[in-house]
Amino acid sequence: MNKTDTTFRRAPLAVLLTGIFLIVLDFFVVNVALPSVQQDLDADSTALQWLVAGYALTFGGLLLVASRIADRWGRRRERQAQRQRRGLRSADWRNHRPGVRELRGSARGPALIHES
């Protein structure tokens, strides 16, 4: 077994662990924000529990939808759709109207550089 075989087997594990870490970090951030949400909205503990539960349900539901789209259309087309949505969101709508090239996703703006 050479070094390439070991790296090839460890890469999916690294991606999986990074994804799990980001999910845990995301819920950690929500839980850290709970005291300020409670103070700003004058919410009781039941409302905070509903907030966390609603966040978790929304996250899980969107995760299921995204994985279903990726399975049905293929990961390449699904990633291209994500890039197009991010590109449209990052466009400055007040000073710039996106052209046909940007709507098709062929223009590579600053928001798309990190995904290429």
Helices and strands counted in the chain (H then E): 4, 0
CA-based angle 89:114:78, to the nearest 5?
Answer: 65
pLDDT per residue as tens digits for the range 6-21? 666 787 788 888 888 9
pTM of the complete model beyond 0.85: no
pLDDT per residue as tens digits for the range 47-93? 999 999 999 999 889 888 888 887 888 777 777 887 887 777 666 55
CB-based contact 98:91 (threshold 8 Å): yes
